């Protein structure tokens, strides 16, 4: 795989060594057991896969190179390049300014831009409408485009099934930048609707079966469907694609459910299902799959708590939290500074969408066993700082982590 040039401050010597060793031992990436860092009184189990993915490193390399190559020019990011506070803060420190927030709200009017400005497209991609507006100003959006190749793969899959007269169902978070971009690209070629979760997929299924009247569709899926969508006929042939960072099991369940609806309504079987339901296969990116599979492997290890590191608005990270919190007390943090002391941690609650304070988060067991992973947009250096801070509470440091001969490494 290509090696990217990114700021060395995002790298971790410890984690780089661990990942290199695991790649050597598991070249086919079939072993999802965690790596044990044994500090004696505390044992930290690192997920087999975590941290920066191909798309994120590609975006970081392009963004920082763009700054270096354009001295004296105004440089803008369309929105957060990735959902990581450290990376975005570093880019702002280099003079980069955001045009929009993560929900698409304008921070700087496009009317203030000129053809001499540089605009970086984030890893999530953007809508066709925004590309047209920037191009009309004279800004070449393709020159500094960091859109993840795996997001573009979803767009290509949508285009392929659109040409076969399928409508597209996008499984994604409606307000997420990537979902908005994918919706835009899909809707350019075929009727498109977004479903957020299984409940919405079931609701959509009731329109397919005729249990609900077509006119109600426009209320239930307000601002989720493409212009001119005809609920009476555009759900007769469908295919499912997704926001690449969704929970894989959720996307599969939604796809299987809608497929079962088509099988039943049109009296089909597996041999002729493509008359009504497109074979889109899996459009989740490899990193999302690997990181989620690694968490399933991580959870096989008996432990006291789990710590997940990443941006609070990171979709792929939030799904890792959802998996770990099903089994263990889970602390979702975006920086080592959120661990105030051995007794106090400030962490994000996905259910209330707010940061909360927990005291006594480290159990009194000996040894304390902690599962740890991070999202695809989180620098390894941040994870190392979290490890070192926790180790320090037990009178040790990362230099003393036992790696040789320790199972399950």
- The residues assigned a catalytic role are 178
Q: With contact defined as beta carbons under 8 Å apart, do 372 and 45 qualify?
A: yes
Nearest residue to 397 via CA among 131, 94, 54, 44: 44
Give the C-alpha distances (Å, rounded to integers) separating 201 from 8, 194, 205.
44, 9, 6
Retrieve residue 35's tokens: 């790596």
User: For the range 325-332, what are the long-range contacts, defined as Cβ-Cβ under 8 Å and sequence gap of 24 or more?
Assistant: 325/350, 327/299, 328/299, 328/303, 328/304, 328/371, 329/304, 329/305, 329/361, 330/305, 330/306, 331/305, 331/306, 331/307, 331/358, 331/361, 332/308
Burial of 102 (0-12, 13-18, 19+ CB in 10 A): middle
How many CB atoms neighbour CB 328 within 10 A? 18
The answer to whether 125 and 149 have CB atoms below 8 angstroms apart is: no
| DSSP calls for 81-137 | SSS-HHHHHHHHHTT-EESB-TTS-BSS-GGG--TTSEEEBPTT---HHHHHHHHHH
Q: How far apart are CA 23 and CA 48, in angstroms?
A: 10
Tokens of 114: 């000129």
Neighbours of 28 (CB within 10 A): 5
């Amino acid at each position: 795989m290509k090696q990217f040039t990114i700021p060395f401050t995002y790298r971790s010597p410890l984690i780089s060594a661990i990942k290199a060793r695991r790649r050597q031992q598991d070249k086919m990436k079939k072993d999802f057991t965690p790596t044990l860092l044994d500090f004696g009184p505390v044992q930290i189990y690192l997920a087999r896969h975590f941290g920066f993915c191909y798309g994120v490193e590609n975006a970081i390399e392009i963004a920082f190179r763009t700054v270096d190559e354009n001295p004296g020019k105004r440089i803008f990011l369309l929105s957060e390049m990735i959902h990581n506070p450290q990376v975005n803060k570093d880019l702002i420190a280099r003079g980069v300014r955001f045009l929009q927030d993560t929900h698409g709200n304008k921070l700087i009017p496009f009317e203030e831009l000129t053809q001499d400005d540089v605009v970086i497209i984030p890893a999530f991609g953007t809508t066709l409408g925004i590309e047209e507006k920037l191009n009309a100003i004279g800004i070449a959006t393709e020159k500094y485009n960091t859109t993840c190749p795996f997001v573009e793969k979803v767009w290509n899959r949508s285009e392929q099934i659109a040409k076969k007269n399928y409508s597209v169902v996008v499984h994604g978070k409606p307000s997420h930048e990537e979902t908005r971009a994918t919706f835009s690209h899909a809707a350019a070629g075929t009727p498109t609707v977004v479903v957020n979760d299984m409940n919405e997929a079931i609701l959509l299924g009731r329109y397919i079966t005729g249990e609900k009247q077509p006119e109600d569709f426009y209320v239930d899926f307000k601002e989720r469907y493409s212009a001119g969508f005809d609920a009476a006929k555009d759900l007769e042939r469908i295919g499912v694609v997704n926001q690449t960072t969704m929970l894989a099991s959720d996307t599969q369940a939604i796809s299987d459910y809608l497929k079962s609806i088509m099988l039943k309504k049109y009296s089909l079987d597996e041999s002729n299902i493509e008359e009504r339901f497109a074979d889109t296969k899996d459009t989740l990116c490899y990193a999302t799959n690997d990181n989620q599979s690694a968490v399933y492997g991580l959870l096989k290890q008996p432990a006291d708590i789990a710590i997940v590191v990443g941006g609070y608005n990171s979709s792929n990270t939030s799904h890792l939290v959802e998996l770990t919190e099903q089994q263990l007390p889970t602390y979702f943090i975006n920086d080592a500074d959120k661990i105030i002391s051995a007794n106090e941690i400030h962490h994000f609650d996905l259910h209330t969408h707010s940061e909360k304070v927990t005291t006594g988060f480290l159990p009194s067991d000996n040894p304390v066993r902690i599962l740890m992973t991070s999202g695809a947009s989180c620098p390894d250096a941040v994870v190392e700082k979290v490890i070192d801070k926790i180790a320090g509470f037990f009178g040790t440091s990362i230099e003393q982590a036992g790696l040789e001969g320790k199972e399950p490494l």
